[in-house]
Amino acid sequence: MMSSDSVLPLPENPIIVGFGGVGVDFLAVVPSFPKPDSKIRTTEFTFQGGGNNGNTMTCAARLGLKPRIISKVSNDGPGKTMLEELEAEGVDTSFFVVSKEGTSPFSYVIVDNQTKTRTCIFTPGYPEMVPQDLPRANLLSALDGARMVYFDARMPDSALVIAQEAFHQNIPILIDAERPREGLNDLLSLADYVVCSENFPRAWTEASSIPRALVSIILRLPRLKFAIVTLGKDGCIMLERCVDDEGSHIEEMDVESCLTTLKERKDDSTAMPTCIASPVTKLRAKGIEESVCGRLYYGASEKIPPSELMDTTGAGDAFVGAVLYGTCNLFILPLHMLVGIF
Q: What is the CATH number of the domain that holds 248?
A: 3.40.1190.20
Whether residue 18 is contained in a domain is answered as: no
Domain-located, residue 36: no
237-278 tens-digit pLDDT: 999 999 876 656 788 999 999 999 999 998 887 778 889 999
Return the closest-CA partner of residue 70 out of 93, 89, 88, 100.
93
22 contacts 152 by C-beta, under 8 angstroms: no
- Tell me, yes or no, if the pTM score tops 0.85: yes
Does position 7 have pLDDT exceeding 70, yes or no? Answer: no
Do the domain assignments include residue 116? no
CB 22 within 8 A of CB 107: no
Mean pLDDT in residue range 7-32: 84
Tell me what pLDDT residue 169 has. 98
- Distance (Å, whole) CA 147 – CA 144: 9
Contacts of 223 (CB under 8 A, 6+ apart): 189, 190, 191, 192
Question: Does any domain span residue 262?
Answer: yes
Domain interval for residue 247:
50-99+129-341
Judge whether 173 lies within some domain.
Answer: yes
pLDDT of 9 reads: 53
Note whether residue 305 is domain-resident: yes
Residue 272 buriedness (CB in 10 A; 0-12 / 13-18 / 19+): exposed
228 domain residue, yes or no:
yes
What's the confidence (pLDDT) of residue 304?
81
Structural domains of the chain, count: 1
* pLDDT digits 0-9 by tens, 48-103: 889 999 999 999 999 999 999 999 999 999 999 999 999 999 999 999 999 999 99
Q: Is residue 252 one of the residues assigned to a domain?
A: yes
- pLDDT mean over 174-184: 95
Q: What are phi and psi of 58, to 5 degrees?
A: -65, -45
> Which residues are CB-contacts of 339 (< 8 A; sequence separation ≥ 6)?
238, 275, 277, 297, 299, 326
| pLDDT tens readout for residues 123-171 | 999 999 999 999 999 999 999 999 999 999 999 999 999 999 999 999 9
